[in-house]
Amino acid sequence: MPRVLLTGIAGFIGFHLARRLAAEGYSILGIDNINDYYDPSLKLARLKELGFSPASIRDYEEIPSRIHPGIGFLKLDLTERERVESLFKKESFPRVVHLAAQPGARASLTQPYAYIESNILGFVHILEGCRSTHVEHFVYASSSSVYGGNKKQPYHEDDRVDTPVSLYAATKRSDELMAYTYSHLFGIPTTGLRFFTVYGPWGRPDMAYYKFVKAIFENQPIDVYNEGNLERDFTYVDDIIQGVHAVLQKPPSGSPPYQLFNIGHSQPVNLLTFIEVIENSLGKKAIKRLLPMQQGDVLSTYADTGRLEEYSGFKPLTTIEQGIRRFTEWYLSYHAKNK
């Protein structure tokens, strides 16, 4: 198997993708800066699950997994240009999966520099590494947030994406444009994936579903924005990984060799219905605090995934009831062990 450079390996999606690739015998170098956007202990716990002892992690030193032969971890911040250049000079990676980013649309309104540095500067550094080493396939994470104020639904890849409502969305759209430019100029086979509200075990604590489960379990109120009149295309993480894996095997061959896909469940769920599913899974009722719409938010997300299905056979199979049950089981188990 060709060695894969996987950025954001300690993150939610990166962790799950690493486990999938490791199970198939891939050689992987995973990178993460383990920042404190949310509790780093969860990121370290994910790395531990992959076989990396938190006590052995040092800046800029690759360490091997104790569980998966051929998999290494490197603590590195992608905004450090010279360090990234050195990495690509040291080793060529036939395939690069770039998932590292500063996440969260709402936080981008108050912390703009973090998003510019990570999502723009870090992205360019990876692109330059791909250019200098003639990467065979560059796969990167975009976001459904790029559709912004677009009122046409379901969202299709050919829809206009020039009305972002958060800086996070603007950085993700910028990534798409830069990736296209590098593909056009330098012939880098490039695939962008617009993720739609990914959820599941080992997920991010800043996401609504995680906050809801925590608050309901602890008998605390939950904040329900726009009084619950929101819809999200919730997509279970295993379905996402199946799609990413399928795309990774098929580099584009067009001119330029560039493609862009929605990757979602294609079944939007009303927020109040979603909360009800969580209540049923926990066997407890939520204390709802109904609030107005938040700045930087959108009313609905809904993915048209026909293009990805035709290209790769992608078809999400996990229902919202199945996914939430698996998440709550993980949540209760994980937090029981880490009290």
Burial of 174 (0-12, 13-18, 19+ CB in 10 A): middle
The per-residue pLDDT for range 151-186, each reduced to its tens digit, is 899 999 999 999 999 999 999 999 999 999 999 999
The per-residue pLDDT for range 21-67, each reduced to its tens digit, is 999 999 999 999 999 999 999 999 999 999 999 999 999 999 999 99
**Residue 299 pLDDT:** 86
The per-residue pLDDT for range 286-315, each reduced to its tens digit, is 999 999 988 878 888 999 999 999 999 999
**Residue 105 pLDDT:** 87
Beta strands in the chain (DSSP E): 4-7, 28-32, 63-64, 71-75, 95-98, 137-143, 190-195, 198-199, 221-225, 231-232, 235-236, 258-263, 269-270, 287-291
On the question of pLDDT at 284 being above 80, the answer is yes
Which member of 147, 168, 182, 302 is catalytic? 168
Q: Are 52 and 119 in contact (CB under 8 A)?
A: no
On the question of pLDDT at 2 being above 80, the answer is no
The per-residue pLDDT for range 130-155, each reduced to its tens digit, is 999 999 999 999 999 999 978 899 99
**Residue 128 pLDDT:** 98
**Which CATH number does 4-198+236-265+302-316 carry?**
3.40.50.720
On the question of pLDDT at 338 being above 80, the answer is no
**Residue 296 pLDDT:** 75
On the question of pLDDT at 247 being above 90, the answer is yes
On the question of pLDDT at 235 being above 80, the answer is yes
Measured over all CA atoms, what is the biggest interatomic distance in the chain, rounded to whole angstroms? 56
CA-CA distance, 35 to 59, in Å (whole number)?
Answer: 12
Mean pLDDT of 79-85: 98
Residue spans of the domains in the chain: they are: 4-198+236-265+302-316
Structure tokens at 328: 């709550």
**Residue 127 pLDDT:** 98
The per-residue pLDDT for range 115-131, each reduced to its tens digit, is 999 999 999 999 999 99
CA-CA distance, 150 to 70, in Å (whole number)?
Answer: 44
The whole-model pTM stands at: 0.96
**Residue 337 pLDDT:** 81
Q: What percent of the chain has pLDDT over 90?
A: 91
Query: Helices H, strands E: what count in the chain?
Result: 11, 14
Element housing 328 (H / E): helix 320-337
| Residue whose pair of structure tokens reads 């009303």 in the numeric block | 270
| pLDDT band at residue 9 under the 50/70/90 scheme | very high
**Residue 53 pLDDT:** 96
Summary mean pLDDT of the chain: 95
On the question of pLDDT at 212 being above 80, the answer is yes
Active site residue 182: no
| pLDDT band at residue 20 under the 50/70/90 scheme | very high
CB neighbourhood size of 226 (10 A): 14
On the question of pLDDT at 339 being above 90, the answer is no
Q: What percent of the chain has pLDDT over 70?
A: 99
Mean pLDDT of 73-90: 97
CA-CA distance, 256 to 138, in Å (whole number)?
Answer: 13
